[in-house]
C-alpha cells in the first residue's frame, strides 16, 4: 500500500510525470541507433501498450479522476482526459 501512495504523490508533479514518460523513450530510441530492430519493436510495443496506459492511469488517479483500469487502454478515454494528463 505504501508503494501505491508513493506513486500517487510522484504523479501529482507535472515535471516528474514528463520525466517518467520520457526516460523509457531514451532506451527505445537507443535500440534504433544500436541496430537492434526486433528489440526496438518489442520495447516500443511494451511502451505504447503497457507502460503509457499504466502511467496515465496513475496520473489520473493522483488528480482525483476515477477511471477503470481496463478503460485507460482505449485511446479515446485518454483523449477525453487530455487536459488532466498533460497540462
Ranges of the chain whose pLDDT falls below 70 = 1-8
Domain count, the chain: 1
Provide the grid cell at 6. Answer: 508513493
Whole-structure pTM value: 0.85
What pLDDT is stored for residue 10 in this prediction? 74
Q: pLDDT tens across 48-69, in order?
A: 999 999 999 989 988 889 999 9
Looking at residue 43, its pLDDT comes to 95
What's the burial of 70, exposed, middle or buried (CB within 10 Å: 0-12/13-18/19+)?
A: exposed
The pLDDT score that the predictor gives to residue 87 is 86
Amino acid at each position: 500500500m505504501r508503494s501505491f501512495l508513493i506513486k500517487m504523490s510522484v504523479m501529482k508533479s507535472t515535471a516528474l510525470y514528463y520525466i517518467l514518460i520520457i526516460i523509457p523513450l531514451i532506451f527505445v530510441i537507443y535500440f534504433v541507433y544500436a541496430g537492434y530492430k526486433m528489440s526496438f519493436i518489442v520495447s516500443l510495443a511494451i511502451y505504447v501498450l503497457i507502460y503509457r496506459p499504466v502511467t496515465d492511469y496513475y496520473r489520473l488517479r493522483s488528480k482525483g479522476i476515477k477511471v477503470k483500469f481496463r478503460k485507460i487502454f482505449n485511446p479515446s478515454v485518454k483523449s477525453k482526459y487530455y487536459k488532466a494528463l498533460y497540462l
